[in-house]
Amino acid sequence: AETGAMQFSVPILIALLSAWWLGERLSAPRWAAIVGGFAGVLLVIRPGSAAFHPAILLSALNALLYAAFNLLTRRMAANESPQAMQLISAAGAALVLAPFALAVVWWTWADWSGYTKRKAMERDDQRKQDRINRHLEAIGQKPRDARRR
């Protein structure tokens, strides 16, 4: 419910940011609607209560970015063609999401090839051998690695 309520703040943010960024004038009834809408969002989110979780700030960031995207689209519509706007949006998304896609490809390959399991097993084997060596040293015997040399 809190995340949904935070997304209802997008039109409020668009109105506020358009006054600042695009120079649009906000009348008194619009200001009243903005204040009322913001009060409604706060009523659902309940900041300061036990139900409030700091992760809601990620939803607030999402709402702010979505509002900025809408304003950027509105501003670009005056000067750019729809094709250019689509290309810019797609290229921006591709650049932002590319590292995540590469991480998914890496982990898929590592799991498929057994690379991550092999590394984990090697690490476990080394811990086991270190523990054995510590116990051997504690009873006065030489560790296996020392005997091989």
Distance CA 130, CA 143 (A): 9
pLDDT at 137 over 50: yes
Distance CA 44, CA 1 (A): 7
Token output for 76: 């670009």
pLDDT tens per residue across span 103-128: 999 888 887 887 777 778 888 899 99
* pLDDT for 147: 47
pLDDT tens per residue across span 6-45: 787 888 888 888 888 878 888 888 888 888 888 887 787 7
142 alpha carbon, distance to own chain's centre:
51
- Structure-token match 């991550």, residue found: 116
